Chains A and B, each alone.
Chain A
Amino acid sequence: MNPLLAQFLAEANDLLASVDDGLLQLERNPGDPELVNEVFRAAHTFKGSSGLFDFPELTRLTHAAEDLLDAVRGGRLALDSGMTDDLLAAFDLIRGWLAHVTAHERLPATAGQDAAGLITKLRAPLGGGEAAAADQETPLSVRPIDPPPQWLAHLGTEWLIDTATWLGTTSSTLRFVRYLPDQDCFFRAEDPLHLVRQVPGLDRLAVIPPESWPAAEEYDEYACLLSFVVATRAAVGELDYLFRYVPDQVTVVELDAAAIHRHLEGEDEAEFAVPAPPPRPDALHVDPELAADARAVLTAAHRTLAVGEPAGTQLAALSASVTAAAHALGVPLDLTGADQEAVNAAIEGLLGRAPVEPAAEPPAVDHPVIPALVAPPAPVPAEPTGRADDPGGQVGTRVLKVDQEKVDRLMELVGELNVAKNGLTFLAAAAEEEFGSRALSRRIKDQYAGLHRIAEELQAAVMDVRMLPLSVAFGRFPRLVRDLSRRLGKTIELVTEGEDTMADKDVIEALGDPLVHLVRNSLDHGIETSDERVAAGKAPAARLTLAAVADGDAVLVEVSDDGRGVDPVRVKRKAYEKGLITEEELESLSDSEAVDLVFRPGFSTADQISDLSGRGVGMDAVRASVEKLGGSVTMRSEWGSGTTTRLRLPLSMAVTQVMVVSVAGQRFGVPVDLVVETVRVPAAEMGRVLHQDVVVMRGEVVPVIDLARALEMPWEPDSARDLAVLVVSVNGQRIGLLVEQFHREVDVILKPMEGLLAYAAEFSGTALLGDGLVLLVLNLKEVLGLAARVA
């Protein structure tokens, strides 16, 4: 299931509970403005969130409820118990729907009809029922949806399926006109085709010839035998005006996706009535006539499958009719995307159990509240509002809402447990050395191993609680890109990949701003206008990709576009003009190094400051905030074909792996992410180039920095022993750190430097070790800066 939908369902559960609660309290104290507000807000939230998914019926129903509550809130209406009943019924219906969504990820097929009656009821108190609802000034005002007429068939199944999909996606409606001109209309100077021609927003026209043509010699050229079916985007008012002289020859209906689907499923007007009468309490078995009809449909479908090989839309239409028949027999069936065999199997199963007998068992997850339209699905409570003790299916997976502080507290305890656990290794060493008991030492080590495993798993479990998918961070971009691209007049297609990659919530939250910045930059500077792209021989629509991929204990997020890229020459010139680089750098910097200049503070290439970016604060801020998270940012660009910015972030900021080294008797931590290798170099192999100690490793010259000197600690390496060099990679450069000794790697909970130590930028934080020592974790970038200053 799409994570957004899962989140919506989880939230919906709470919302529904609060609406129910609020409405019941309102019954007791009608007119309490605080309560009305609360319920209104819940309904409003519902409508807003439901709009994100393809559930037009849900949006319409919540919209109607919201309008009613709004009127109550504004004091234009007094809430009576009838309205409360309707509201409760509406939210009960929604609960049933969402249970169905949880199971099948779509609303039940009958949603449109079930909602129609309630919407009418909810809108009735707002004055004058349907007519008023249709005339309301809101763009979303709901016109009653007409039952789908038979003559839709003339427009063609394939077109109807496509159109229904489109209408469903856009939650909109189309008007359909059937025009049956009189036989003698030519004598009244009417030209039906001319009239049809004038229909504005004509979407599809079907001209229906007579059932049988007369023989050529008997043909009367002045008798009109044709009739017309038109699908149009014109408003009902326009159609009424156009056909004002022939109102008796014209039928106009307004239909939405659900109505067209009902037509495709083979229900005609005769069976259709709004609102559906509630089933009689004793109606526990399927209506025999209906069952006979359903059998006929199934038999026909079975024949079709036996003789032909229906595929594509034909199969889709067939499955739809089978589903409808199954519903009529009280058997919930989902054939979306089923292949021929599956449909055939379903039909045979149904035909085996279709005889007129009560459906064996109530459907597992179905609308408990819905006075079903076609037939009651097995025993349902008779009262249309549902029973209070009806659990109504589970909406969403069971979710506990936990205060964030509690999770953070857990994390801290896990950290402390880790520290305490690490203490056992020291105890084991002490048992052997101080008390001379090897056996005890070994037993302590065994205990430690067991504890270590549990502590690791506990840590992983707590981390898992804090994990969120990246789709949370990506979710805001479709809208942002759409708005910005319209404002800039560029055509942009946004592609997201790997949005189900998980990362710690702190990382996800902190990612938001840098990502927005990068996307804006891309839209503003990277992506060209369509004309420019076409001139450069590219597709007119630019592509902006947000991709995430897990990489060990890190997550990589890339923002890439296929725009104009970064011009290294221009960047260097700008940087030189702003005094960020020297003249020789201007000459010597390679293209990739030039691209990296955009991360320098105070750099901006925008010649014109737009309101999106180019105020001189930019990429440097992005880099700073990502590095604060313990990540890194790199940019690759090819002039003319696009730019890719890659963020590398730790999966979690809670636990850091550090390598412990000691310098002048003091222990320091270095983040393992940065460590390339540890080497021991004979003192004789250490060379000097330009006053810089270097060591040659596998043909590569690596500068070596004496960590003790950089940190201003008194220490002289023992020339008789090999030198311990820790090779790290900082900003893509390899650098060796001369240290006294290597120790092990440990997992630590890094605490930021605070208070008196806040100024010490050369440390990124402190951690407590198992033997009670406080470990200072180095911030290598700053350390390298210090080393340069000391030298």
Chain B
Amino acid sequence: MPLELRDESISLVGVVTVDEVEQLVGWLRTCQRPKVSLRRCNHLHTGALQAMLLFRPKITSAPKDAFLAEQVLPLLTGSYGDTGRQGTETP
């Protein structure tokens, strides 16, 4: 089962497919201070990523999967380099 739900926290396990997106979003909507563990997650469906970008749960543990750890985790923890283009507004 890719989602292991508890009251305030959730663990994503293995591959989270489009079928789990609805359940995940439902949980994120109702939870006051959602916490998500990605440690055992191997892949997130785009829908799941999108939902987490919107609801901004706290990420309690980093994924072991290299792609998720390097490319996706920074988006969720907000530690992503400078995305703006300071000083170069196009004319």
Contacts and interface: CB of A to CB of B under 8 A. Distances in A.
A216 B29 contact: yes
B59 interface: no
B25 interface: yes
B64 to A, nearest CB: 15
Contact of B85 (A153, A202, A205, A213): A153
Contacts of A189: 18
Interface in B37-91: 43-47, 49-51, 53-55, 67, 71-72, 75, 81-91
B4 interface: no
Contacts of A181: 46
A153 B82 CA distance: 10
Contacts of B45: 186, 191, 193-194
Contact of B43 (A197, A202, A266): A197
A270 to B, nearest CB: 10
B15 to A, nearest CB: 9
Nearest to A208: B83
Chain B: number of interface residues, binned into ranges:
20 to 34
Nearest to B53: A209
Contact of A213 (B43, B49, B54): B54
B8 interface: no
Contacts of B90: 150, 266-268
B36 interface: no
Interface string A179-221: 0010000100101111001000010011101000100100101
B73 to A, nearest CB: 12
B87 A221 contact: no
A216 B54 contact: yes
Nearest to A264: B88
Contacts of A297: 89, 91
Contact of A207 (B47, B49, B51, B55): B49
Contacts of B84: 157
Nearest to A267: B90
B87 A193 contact: no
B21 interface: yes
Contacts of B49: 193, 207, 226
Contact of A186 (B18, B55, B83, B86): B18
Contact of A221 (B22, B71, B72): B22
A222 B21 contact: yes
B91 A224 contact: no
A207 B75 contact: yes
A154 B84 CA distance: 7
A426 interface: no
Nearest to A300: B89
Contact of B21 (A207, A221, A265, A320): A221
Interface string A223-235: 0111000000000
Interface in A246-269: 264-268
A224 B89 contact: no
B46 A224 contact: yes
A318 B85 CA distance: 10
Nearest to A205: B71
Interface in A140-194: 150, 153-154, 156-159, 181, 186, 189, 191-194
B28 to A, nearest CB: 9
Q: Which residue, of B22, B75, B85, B89, has the highest number of chain A Cβ atoms within 10 A?
A: B85
Nearest to B17: A191
Contact of A157 (B25, B55, B75, B86): B86
Contacts, number: 102
Given A219-B54, A221-B21, A221-B47, A317 B88 contact: yes
Given A191-B18, A191-B45, A226 B67 contact: no
Contact of B46 (A192, A264, A267): A192
B82 A156 contact: yes
A157 B46 contact: no
A226 B50 contact: yes
Contacts of B88: 157, 264-266, 317-318, 320-321
B91 A294 contact: yes
A782 interface: no
Contacts of A213: 54
B54 A224 contact: no
Contacts of A209: 53
A191 B16 CA distance: 11
A355 to B, nearest CB: 16
A339 to B, nearest CB: 15
B39 to A, nearest CB: 18
A104 to B, nearest CB: 22
Contacts of B67: 197
A310 B88 CA distance: 12
A293 interface: yes
Nearest to B51: A221
A397 interface: no
Most buried by B among A222, A294, A325: A222
A296 interface: yes
Contacts of B86: 157, 304, 310, 314, 317
Interface in A749-777: none
A484 interface: no
A206 B81 CA distance: 10
A301 interface: yes
A297 B81 CA distance: 25
A157 B18 contact: no
> Which of A202, A205, A265, A315 has the largest number of chain B CB atoms within 10 A?
A205
Interface in A278-326: 293-294, 296-297, 300-301, 304, 310, 314-315, 317-318, 320-321, 325
Contacts of A191: 17-18, 45-46
B71 A310 contact: no
B52 to A, nearest CB: 11
Contacts of B17: 191
A318 B51 CA distance: 36
Nearest to A154: B83
Nearest to B75: A207
Given A156-B83, A301-B87, A317-B86, A226 B54 contact: no
Contacts of B54: 213, 216, 219
Contacts of A320: 88
A294 B90 CA distance: 10
B85 A157 contact: yes
A264 B49 CA distance: 30
Contacts of A224: 46-47, 50
A193 B46 contact: yes
Interface string A656-680: 0000000000000000000000000
B82 A222 contact: no
Contacts of B43: 193-194, 197
Contact of B81 (A159, A194, A266, A268): A159
B44 A317 contact: no
Nearest to A220: B25
Given A181-B46, A207-B72, A314-B87, 7 more contacts: A186-B47, A191-B45, A205-B71, A216-B54, A266-B88, A266-B89, A317-B87
Q: Which 3 A-B pairs give the minimum distances between C-beta atoms?
A: A293-B91, A318-B87, A221-B25
28 contacts: A154-B83, A181-B46, A191-B46, A192-B46, A193-B44, A193-B46, A194-B45, A194-B46, A197-B43, A197-B67, A205-B71, A216-B54, A216-B55, A219-B54, A221-B25, A221-B47, A222-B21, A222-B47, A224-B47, A265-B88, A266-B89, A267-B90, A296-B91, A297-B91, A304-B86, A314-B86, A317-B88, A318-B88
Interface of B: 17-18, 21-22, 25, 29, 43-47, 49-51, 53-55, 67, 71-72, 75, 81-91
